[in-house]
Amino acid sequence: MGPDQGVRSVVGMTHTPTALITGASRGLGLALARDLARDGWQLVLDARGADALQAVADELSALTTVRTVAGDIADPAHREALNTVACDLGGLDALVLNASTLGASPLPDVLDTPIETLRRTFEVNVIAPVALAQDLLPHLRYGARVIAITSDAATRAYHGWGGYGASKAALEQAFAVVAVERPELLVYRVDPGEMRTQMYQESAPGQDISELPPPEVSVPGLRALLAGHLPSGRYEAREVPAAVAAATTGVAS
């Protein structure tokens, strides 16, 4: 099978496409799950909160096949349960590594951050996504998309964001290398931009974030990556549709 054929197997939906999304009970993960469900994607959804995850399953099961696994992505037993579900559904066309932790709230300076908090941040934001991708590799179809959700805090120095930003920088480098090592996959590091989410509110307790856009504004970019032919790399979600158009027409964005 040539590269174009492999990608078409995802884009052209010659089978029912299946996505596994971590951190899918709220925020960007939930917004993407809803959008994919409307298009009939089978979904494997993960989140720590069992009740919130069940509410998502109740909502989306009317539209598509939804399998939920509640638990901590840093727990090997939980990752094994996700692996079992992916196998049961016959494989994955998309793996969206969205689950993460902010660390402490409010955000402390790096040198004031308890080392155990910093260690936990790296465990959830770096080690767990890599471990899950390792576990799921046999179930990723040729041409499958792997999307690691990152942040501009991975590339810019913001006061208070050192621990979280450092973990996202490590996540980005890990999956930049995965893209080189696994050319049969399309591996994207995606910065969704600032969004009105619970995590962002926790980063700034008491701050009014009502003017920030909802996570839904970043979903079209993720969908464009799932459906298009852009090469592996780092993208800002809200600029992806323009990049896809430019790649299609040959006009620089």
Active site residue 164: yes
What pLDDT does 5 receive? 32
What pLDDT does 170 receive? 98
What pLDDT does 129 receive? 98
Work out the percent of the chain whose per-residue pLDDT is above 90. 75
Catalytic site residue from 158, 164, 188, 235: 164
What's the pTM value of the predicted model, to 2 decimals? 0.89
Fold of 3-242: Rossmann fold (3.40.50)
Rg of the chain over all Cα atoms, to the nearest angstrom: 17
User: 19-73, pLDDT tens digit by residue?
Assistant: 999 999 999 999 999 999 999 999 999 999 999 999 999 999 999 999 999 999 9
Series of mean pLDDT values for 10-residue runs along the chain (253 residues): 35 79 96 97 97 97 97 97 97 97 90 96 98 98 97 92 95 98 98 76 74 88 94 94 69 47
3-state helix, strand, coil in the chain (%, to 5): 50, 15, 35
Beta strands in the chain (DSSP E): 18-21, 42-47, 66-70, 92-97, 140-149, 186-191, 233-236
